[in-house]
Amino acid sequence: MSSVLERFLKYVVVDTTSNPESETFPSVPETEIPFADMLAGELTSIGVQNVTRDENGYVYGTIPSTIENYQGPVVGFIAHMDTASDAPGKDVHPRVIDCYDGSDIELGNGLVLRPADFESLKGNIGKKLVVTDGTTLLGGDDKAGVAEIMTAAEYLISHPEIPHGPIQVGFTPDEEIGRGVDFFDVKRFGADYAYTMDGGELGELEYENFNAASGLVEINGISIHPGSAKGKMVSAALVGMEFQSLLPVFERPEHTEGREGFTHLISFEGTVDRAKLQYIIRDHDYALFEKKKQFLQDIGAFMNQKYGEGTVKVTVTDSYFNMRKQIEPYPFLLENVQEVYKELDIEPIIVPIRGGTDGARLSFMGLPCPNLGTGDYNCHGRFEYACVDKMETAVQVIVRLCQRFAK
């Protein structure tokens, strides 16, 4: 049997960075499809049944039931294969620290991973860690989840004495760019309920996430030679700056936490003639979420009154919604996890996600799907690291959840 560490080290060196600018699915088929094929082959080799890699790059498989004539619920586990584009994901060189002593960690490339900067390190003293070389992200988001699910699958198949029903396994592309379940076939997957293994600290149990939307503000200016511009020129760039100035300063990400939402300007391109501002809008509270979306429209209307109709066009598009209302009718999904955490002496960390997961959208597609922690930290950047001990425990969490659903 392969260990979760062996798998993790094998997976993270494969470049599967998704591309938000791509119009294909998956966004980078030349790298994501081969990795999907690799995982499908590995699932088949360990005895998972009905393994497929479909035309969109999704990988599905079934761990067969060990209970004859099983009539209970079918549970699934899902992780995403792609990594974020926020930092390089190619030529990853992971390094294993066998026993972390609490000191600063020299990564390379002039970067130092310090417990003074990253509090989570203090909780991992004495544990085995995997770190970067300072030039790339690590890829534990979400290859830690992939490795944990794969290792749990192999363990369950090699231990047929463990009672459990059929277990569904799924790996998805393009989660990091918000498209992870665009073509996910819930019926084909075949589970009644599922968990994404896509969290941070071991013990996380997440069933709340942001309501999310994107906002696009397009501005048409009037470009006139500056020597004769008086009373005629309208600078689209300056109108864009004015638009941004009308949004509440303390509803920006850098001033919010917990369940507080925000409106975040993520890009601004502007000349006198044309300008474009792109926003993301987030809030756990649906009423406040709708209010934030409407406020963008209201600013646009005000600017058109000031500068002339057609100067500003605001387009707001919903991305995903808070899965809490889809999870709460099934309290046993949370109770089962809490019981397993108790058995394994894991402190539950029930926190709202300040973001989204595949599970949020899947929950609205008829597959209630909370999210569990994997033992990966500081994702999306060069300071990312994973705790091997906690990844090993996450494998046990999966195995015990499979047993609990069969009770």
Q: Report d(CA 256, CA 267) in Å as an integer.
A: 20
Residue 181 in 3-state DSSP?
coil
| Catalytic residue (one of 32, 42, 82, 251) | 82
User: Concatenated DSSP letters for 311-328?
Assistant: SEEEEEEEEE--THHHHT
345 is catalytic: no
Looking up tokens 């709340």, which residue turns up?
208
What H or E segment, with its residue span, contains residue 155?
helix 140-158
* Residue 97, phi then psi, degrees to nearest 5: -105, 110
Tell whether the torsion through CA atoms of 356, 6, 188 and 398 is positive or negative.
negative
Strands (E), 157-227: 167-172, 193-197, 205-206, 211-220
- Angle at which helix 140-158 crosses helix 388-405, to 10 degrees, equals 50
Can you say whether the dihedral through the CA atoms of 238, 239, 242, 244 is positive or negative? negative
Q: Are 363 and 356 in contact (CB under 8 A)?
A: no
185 classed as catalytic = no
Choose, from 154, 175, 198, 384, the residue flagged as catalytic.
175
CA distance 158 to 153: 9
**CA 387/CA 375 separation, integer angstroms:** 5
- In angstroms, rounded to a whole number, what is the distance separating the alpha carbons of residues 212 and 293? 10
Which strand ranges, in their side-by-side order, compose the sheet holding 129-131? 95-97, 129-131, 385-387, 376-377
Which residues carry out catalysis?
82, 175
